[in-house]
Amino acid sequence: MRITRHETPRRYAVGRVEISDCAAIELVTDEQVTFLTEGRAGYDVTRKSWGWYATPSLNGRLADHGLRAALVRNEAGRAYLLLVDTGQEPAFEAYLAAEKMQVLTWLDSDGAIAALGVPKGN
């Protein structure tokens, strides 16, 4: 793993929000990093030879760590997978309204996954 910290973070606007790009992390196959929030368990990203595991299991480990996965779309039609801290749904709903985004589906429970209509094992 190689971490390159940006001494002066690149700042850019996304809608009404300013983002600070603080670092770049380079992983090789089968390396993982865990991102942590204050006082909470984190969320993992794992590099594979074919690409990435971008999240832990959506209806398992991610939920066990207090995060909910939501597939959302903005008004331009772009889709995003967002992770919401359990208990922060009101703030998330306010963010969606301000950014003119909508939840297409939650992906954080066995029921939500079953509702996609794909049987287990396929």
Mean pLDDT of the chain: 91
pTM of the model: 0.83
Cβ–Cβ contacts within 10 Å for residue 61, how many? 14
Per-residue model confidence as pLDDT tens digits over 90-104: 999 999 999 999 999
Contact 23, 4 (CB under 8 A): yes
Percent of residues, the chain, with pLDDT higher than 90: 65
Per-residue model confidence as pLDDT tens digits over 35-73: 888 866 688 999 999 999 999 999 888 888 889 999 999
Distances (CA, A) of 26 to 5, 42, 103: 11, 19, 31
Distances (CA, A) of 61 to 19, 22, 92, 97: 27, 26, 21, 28
pLDDT of residue 64: 86
Instruction: Tell me: pLDDT of 14 over 90.
Output: no
Which residue, among 12, 65, 77, has the nearest Cα to 41 in the 3D structure? Answer: 65
pLDDT of residue 41: 64
